[in-house]
Amino acid sequence: MKIHLAGSTRAFDAESGETVLAAARRAGLAFPYSCLSGNCGSCKADILDGSVHYPYNPPSALSKAEQSGDKALLCQAVPLSELTIAIREVEAVAGIPLRQLAVKVVAKNRLCDDVVELKLMPPKREPLKYLPGQYLDVLLPEGKRRAFSIANAPRHGDTLDLHVRRVTGGGFTQYVFDELSVGALLRIEAPLGTFVPREGGDRPIILMAGGTGFAPIKAILEYLRDIGNERALHLYWGARHASDLYLDALCRQWQAEQPQLRYTPVLSEASTLERHQYRAGHVHEAVLKDFPDLSRFDVYMSGPPPMIDAGRKQFTAAGLPEDRLYYDSFDYAPDVLAALIRARKG
């Protein structure tokens, strides 16, 4: 099936049963995406001509009106006819080769009760090219994979650093906490994702993290510092308790060193004592309270799906143009979501 890009002479082909996004990636096009499960909405596009269907996961990130209108989620949409689509490419990630490689765990550090930092060393002669904010997939048996954001900007050490939160009942994260030891090898595919800094403009930037969603934001902030950024940066980090802000001291140090950076930690389950020292509530609500009009901002956010969902709806309602909202949603892996959807259907 032929797929045309609106306003361009470029086109690519989808094979039978192939999603539009998979076909585009195979053709070397850099469309935005994040969860690859139909949940987050990063890959939303306009279908100007033709039609699609959803034989895999449903496009849960689309509203009913969007589904019956001309919007599609390209990570799940399979063409039913020749298509013409409109979507903005993320040029920065185009041309960076996607690779599979074995990496060695060279450090495993407990950052807080339920988060560990893994430092992964790629082979010396094969350093990985990636952009700040991108993620890698750990490749597991039976074709399963788990996504983890790279928490350090390129050239910030020789390793790829991950912040892994323990998930109750989680296959891979329990293995990381209980069994994985320094010296072990992991097979990864990287770099992935389009949650990368967009250059240009002098608008202030809001960066909002939830839990380990801090990992890609940390990499982006390291990069912005490297390039001598002068734009105002408002960093919000949401967690349940102060002890979950596992790099709070680093954020405070950045704030002290960089006059254009303001750091606001927000606790969703703040104790009475914590309420004296921290903002309490949901992190996206704190952003909206401080900036009820978001029309002059760029916003980057990453973390748990409910936070991303709330941000998507409420930030755009507060005047933020959809094309200046960039995010990575830490959804469960496609195989787990598919199993959950099957279980829900009964």
Ligand X SMILES: Cc1cc2nc3c(=O)[nH]c(=O)nc-3n(C[C@H](O)[C@H](O)[C@H](O)COP(=O)(O)OP(=O)(O)OC[C@H]3O[C@@H](n4cnc5c(N)ncnc54)[C@H](O)[C@@H]3O)c2cc1C
φ and ψ at residue 219, rounded to 5 degrees? -60, -40
For residues 288 and 300, what is the distance between their CA atoms, to the nearest angstrom? Answer: 14
φ and ψ at residue 177, rounded to 5 degrees? -70, -40
If the CB atoms of residues 145 and 324 are measured against ligand X, the closer one turns out to be 145
If the CB atoms of residues 146 and 282 are measured against ligand X, the closer one turns out to be 146
In 3D, which of 249, 209, 211, 255 has the Cα closest to residue 233?
A: 255
* Binding interface with ligand X (CB under 6 A): 34-35, 135, 146-149, 163-165, 167-173, 193, 212, 215, 328, 330-333, 336, 339-340, 343
Q: Per the structure block, which two tokens stand in for 7?
A: 């306003």
**DSSP letters spanning 69-93:** TTEEETTT-EESS-EEEE----GGG
Q: Per the structure block, which two tokens stand in for 204?
A: 């202030």
Q: How far is the CB of 70 from ligand X (least distance, A)?
A: 26
Q: How far is the CB of 260 from ligand X (least distance, A)?
A: 26
Q: How far is the CB of 7 from ligand X (least distance, A)?
A: 29
The 10 Å Cβ neighbour count of residue 64 is 7
If the CB atoms of residues 163 and 284 are measured against ligand X, the closer one turns out to be 163
If the CB atoms of residues 17 and 169 are measured against ligand X, the closer one turns out to be 169
Q: How far is the CB of 149 from ligand X (least distance, A)?
A: 4
If the CB atoms of residues 34 and 57 are measured against ligand X, the closer one turns out to be 34
The CB-nearest residue to ligand X is 170
If the CB atoms of residues 1 and 57 are measured against ligand X, the closer one turns out to be 57
Q: Are 271 and 244 in contact (CB under 8 A)?
A: no
For residues 77 and 7, what is the distance between their CA atoms, to the nearest angstrom? Answer: 21
Q: How far is the CB of 81 from ligand X (least distance, A)?
A: 30
Helix (H) or strand (E) holding 149: strand 145-149
